[in-house]
Amino acid sequence: MLIAGLLVSLAAQPQEIYRWVDKDGIVHYADQPGSPDAVRVPYHGGPPSSADAEPPALYESDRQDGPPTGPTYESLRIISPAPDEVFFGGDVSVNVQLDLDRDLRPGDTLVVFVDGQRAPAFAGLSTTITGLARGTHFLRAAVTDEAGSVVITSPQINFHLRQESIAQPPTGPTLRPPPPKPKPKPATPPA
């Protein structure tokens, strides 16, 4: 009984948890301070309560001055073109369609990058890109804030522009020669 009473009293005591951000911007929590900048976070052995205050920001970039500017974005993806889609022709127009989980916040801008270069500005969630050379191209979309900082980015996809063969008959690595014709069977003499 005595041991059980000691264990219960130890569990009821508040525990010390420390929070710090390392040089790579990764947030750490531990029962021992792992950095001189570690801040003690109140912890009582259960889920955090509203009485547990948020620890102070360690870096100026963690601080938010003024009211929040609205909900953050959770997903941005490229719907069209499909990954590894192939377009044929000399002057191809590539239709780019994006999917953003919510409307743009005031001051935010949607941008598209083709081969690392920013495409011309557009309105809405679609645009058309022209004037691309044949070959493989890389496409990525992003939402930027008023300061030009990236808020969210889509996964990068690639697509391919090919030119049709002008050879007659068409040749190329994707064309296979016709199968050989079967040889006629020799006639068997009547018995």
Nearest to 11 by CA among 54, 44, 48, 49: 44
Residue 139, pLDDT score: 92
Would you give per-residue pLDDT tens digits along the chain (191 residues)? Answer: 767 665 555 555 556 677 777 777 677 777 777 777 777 776 555 444 434 444 444 334 444 444 445 568 889 999 999 999 998 877 788 999 999 988 888 888 899 989 888 888 777 888 888 888 888 899 999 988 888 888 888 999 999 888 776 666 666 555 556 677 777 777 777 76
Nearest to 104 by CA among 80, 69, 78, 139: 69
Q: Is the overall model pTM greater than 0.85, yes or no?
A: no
Strand order in the sheet with 94-100: 76-80, 94-100, 126-129
Residue 165, pLDDT score: 65
Domain residue spans of the chain: 2-56, 76-162
Highest CATH level, class, for 76-162: mainly beta
